[in-house]
Chains A and B, each alone.
Chain A
Amino acid sequence: MSISSETATRPPGSAPAAQPDVPGGGSPRRRKRARAGGAGRQMHAGWLTYLILGIFTFGSLFPLVWTIFAASSSSTRLAQTPPPFWFNDRLAENLDEAWNTANMGLALLNTVFVAGAITLSTVLFATLAGFAFAKLQFRAKNILLMLVIGTMMVPPQLSVVPLFMAVAELGWTNQLQAVILPMMVSAFGVFFMRQYLVQALPTELIEAARVDGAHSLRVIWHVVFPVARPAMAVLAMLTFVMAWNEFFWPIIVLTQQNPTVQVALTGLGRGYVPDQGVIMAGALLGTLPLLIVFAIFGKQIVGGIMHGAIKG
């Protein structure tokens, strides 16, 4: 599509004179351009652009900042107008109460464990499958890959009833493995790793290792993992965020006795603790660890999402 419209709209002879390419040999040049044009068109932004972006940035961050204001306020202060626009003095008390009454301490510990386990297995299995789909030949490969993509369309509501029955049967209610097991692989992860390895891993590298007599596991360990490491790191961060925020299934199998962060927050939201300041302190506790990760690795996460988007 791009080729036809380009040739159609360009007036004859308008190609820049400095162009070293022969006319008609446009395809490699175009490709190079598309890549080099990483910044798209380099038009400078006016003040209006900065203003609009500023407003949206404010909108994105304000609810998060306001959470801190509210978490430092007493419930009486929150029942007044105007609402708090600055820090108050009850942050420590509210955090302490959220930590104890809403079980946030245990919730954080559980969530780190659950999200960590899910991340490890997702990244490992996604890299293995992504490598096979990207670089190996086997029968039914394309059909299987379509199947992987198709599984992304199935909503979680379609599995909770049988999984709940199984969990009840096994007596796993309130146990963390009930949350971890169903989420140990991700179709998005497989697809993400495949898209990365297709272009990042030279086939000759695998062949060279093969000639040296390396069997598949050695190839994985010594060739695939080192090449895939940047993508594995991005996938790990995306998976960790996703697992940390997983909501539907945990609130079905876990209770306030052994909660993850989201289950504990649900408990707060459903009125087990009446103090609004404490609720906000809980929301803060449950969000802060991820926001810290985000503040450190934000650039990589942004890059990972954008990278996945082009290829997807």
Chain B
Amino acid sequence: MPRPQRGGEPPLTAEEKKLRRRSLRYRLDTKFSPYGFVAPFFLFFAAFGLFPLLFTGWASLHRVSLHAPTDMEWVGFYNFTRLMSDEFFWNSLWNTFIIGVISTVPQLLMALGLAHLLNYKLRNSMMFRVAMLAPYATSVAAATLVFAMLYGRDYGMINWGLGLVGIDTIEWEAGSWTSKIAVSTIVIWRWTGYNTLIYLAAMQAVPKDLYESASIDGASRWKQFIHVTIPALRPTILFTVVVSTIGATQLFGEPLLFGGTPSGGAHNQYQTLGLYMYQMGWSNFNLGRASAIAWTMFLLLIIIGLIYWLFARLIGRSTGSKGA
């Protein structure tokens, strides 16, 4: 800082000192306040996200009972090797996969189609959007209780409707596939509207020129949808696939409340990994094994994430785009 010539006068020096103090404070402020602003997030995440994540890994290497959780006995990888030969684990993994596929794929396809329709010039378009998002505001618990009644074997609305068109009573809850379909419809009902809005937002960001030039080239609406809309939406589609996969992997509330027990049906026909983990920890009191299930879930998600990442790179390269 350039020093003024008439340095002798006391009021100026005081001013200057104040200025200098202020500038030091200013520099400290600009340097450290950003860390102060992001600190709360990271402190809370460290305490309630990262530390538990690591500790769950540690606990998975021990025998831990729900009744005496601080009494940990080292067992190495026993919990994991035990899982590998556990038919209930494989069953829940399979169920999670099947329910994940039959809830995610139709959901995203419908959302894509609905977003396309909502992108037309519509009367009451906001009304449609709000109505389709209403299930999103409904909790897992409330939605599942209602759907469990709609799927009721003897007096449920769905079997009654099917009876009208001559289809015999279906035991939704008891069947292996029917129960998975029923649980999936709850997921589909709650999330289709949300994904529709995300696709709609992405569609509205597609430059209009692309459609103009496509229609000049004589492309039909359907061809425009396939050749203009879908490619432009690719990053968004990948994003929703990733989010839905994460959601499907940890599916818990729907299968728990559909039958009301953590076993996921009399023959575990719709027990998911999340549910099996809960049953292991809080019905069988085996927190160590529950931790091992949680970590297996985490590793699965990492593997799936890597596959998606490779897939996105492959697609990106083949079309010469960089994605988002």
Contacts and interface: CB of A to CB of B under 8 A. Distances in A.
A305 B144 contact: no
Contacts of A310: 201-202, 204-205
Interface in B132-155: 132-150, 154-155
B216 A245 contact: no
B178 to A, nearest CB: 18
Interface size class of B (residues with CB under 8 A): 35 or more
A61 B213 CA distance: 39
A37 B208 contact: yes
Given A30-B209, A161-B291, A128 B69 contact: no
Nearest to B127: A57
B114 interface: yes
A220 B126 CA distance: 34
B21 interface: no
Contact of A53 (B118, B134, B319): B118
A67 B146 contact: yes
A312 B305 CA distance: 18
Contacts of A159: 48-49, 52-53, 56
A83 B295 CA distance: 44
Nearest to A133: B38
A302 B206 CA distance: 19
B157 A66 contact: yes
A138 B132 CA distance: 42
Contacts of B91: none
Given A153-B305, A299-B130, A305-B194, A158 B297 contact: yes
B222 interface: no
A49 B140 CA distance: 30
Given A158-B297, A162-B52, A128 B148 contact: no
Interface string B261-274: 10000000000001
B112 interface: no
30 contacts: A6-B209, A6-B210, A9-B210, A9-B214, A30-B207, A34-B206, A40-B203, A41-B208, A41-B211, A45-B120, A125-B41, A129-B41, A133-B38, A147-B42, A159-B53, A161-B281, A165-B287, A168-B69, A184-B44, A185-B40, A213-B22, A241-B137, A245-B138, A245-B139, A252-B278, A269-B257, A287-B139, A291-B134, A298-B133, A306-B200
Interface of A: 1-2, 4-6, 9-11, 14, 30, 33-34, 37-45, 49-50, 52-53, 56-57, 59-61, 63-64, 66-67, 70, 78-83, 125-126, 128-129, 131-133, 136-138, 141, 144, 147-148, 151-165, 168-169, 181-185, 187, 190, 210, 213, 215-216, 220, 241, 244-245, 247-248, 252, 261-262, 265-266, 268-271, 276, 279-280, 282-284, 286-287, 290-291, 293-294, 298-299, 301-302, 305-307, 309-310, 312
Interface of B: 22, 25-26, 29-31, 33-38, 40-42, 44-45, 48-49, 51-53, 55-56, 59, 64, 69-70, 110, 114, 117-122, 126, 128-150, 154-157, 160, 163, 189, 192-194, 197-198, 200-211, 213-214, 216-217, 221, 231-232, 236, 239, 246, 249-250, 252-253, 256-257, 260-261, 274, 277-278, 281-282, 287, 290-291, 293-295, 297-298, 301, 305, 319-322
